[in-house]
Amino acid sequence: MMQNETTAGRRQRSDGVRTHAAILEAATRLASVTGLEGLTLGRLAAELGVSKSGLYAHFGSKEQLQLETIDAALEIFGREVIAPAEAAPGGLPRLEALLEAYFSYLERWVFPGGCFFASLLAEMDAGRGVVHEKVVATEREWLRHFEGYVEAARRSGALGPDVDVPQLTFELYACMELTNYHWVMFRDPAVLERGRRAVARLLAHART
């Protein structure tokens, strides 16, 4: 499992790992609304009913907490969005499964602040340091992965052999992101419908 420099090589007690996981789970939910920068040890501790220092001992630094929070969110995202897509048959159906899984993930409020990673996108301006680099790397990785789905759909013949895959990926992703922001902001189901329609239209045009 995951090991950081504070817990590495140390004996782990069962209640400790349980608390550790509980902290990260709460951290992902909190950070999805406040952002990673707005994530505060005090508020997190209060929400969990533990002391600030007791919580802090699990990570050794705020930076470490942020890094592990990203990993925890990645795990949730993988379970809620990637996994359903992987379960679908390859090619276009798998891409469509990914898109639908994403909208469903928004609809079910898996994170109380909307998509965790969308929250990070906007606040990573001032960014310096390890956390910023990890966010950028994660975004790159996600784009690469997403592009793989689109490329697979194209190769399967469902998408017309001349489609610009990175371009289409960008446009699909753009519609997903804006759907998230407007969904969080307006909380109007019509936003989700618009988002679903948008990606459907993009795919329809790519099919010719």
Partner DNA sequence: CTGTAAATAGCACGATCGGTCGTTCTATTG
Partner DNA sequence: CAATAGAACGACCGATCGTGCTATTTACAG
- Closest C-alpha among 139, 135, 160, 138 to residue 150: 160
Beta carbons of 67 and 131 less than 8 angstroms apart: yes
Beta carbons of 103 and 179 less than 8 angstroms apart: yes
Q: Which part of the chain contacts DNA (CB under 7 A), choosing from 38-46, 133-141, 157-165, 171-179?
A: 38-46
Instruction: Give Cα 102 to chain centroid, integer Å.
Output: 10
- Closest C-alpha among 137, 140, 114, 139 to residue 34: 114
Question: Of DNA, a copy of itself, none, which one sits near residue 128, judging by CB under 5 to 8 A according to partner kind?
Answer: none
Question: Of DNA, a copy of itself, none, which one sits near residue 162, judging by CB under 5 to 8 A according to partner kind?
Answer: none
Question: Of DNA, a copy of itself, none, which one sits near residue 158, judging by CB under 5 to 8 A according to partner kind?
Answer: none
Is 62 an interacting residue with respect to DNA (CB under 7 A)? yes
Instruction: Give Cα 26 to chain centroid, integer Å.
Output: 15
Question: Of DNA, a copy of itself, none, which one sits near residue 33, judging by CB under 5 to 8 A according to partner kind?
Answer: a copy of itself
Is 33 an interacting residue with respect to a copy of itself (CB under 8 A)? yes
- Provide, rounded to whole angstroms, the least separation between the CB of residue 81 and DNA: 28
**Rule CB under 8 A: which of 50-109 touch a copy of itself?**
none
User: Per the structure block, which two tokens stand in for 114?
Assistant: 């909307």
In the complex, the residues that contact DNA under the rule CB under 7 A are 7, 10-17, 19-20, 39-43, 49-58, 60-63
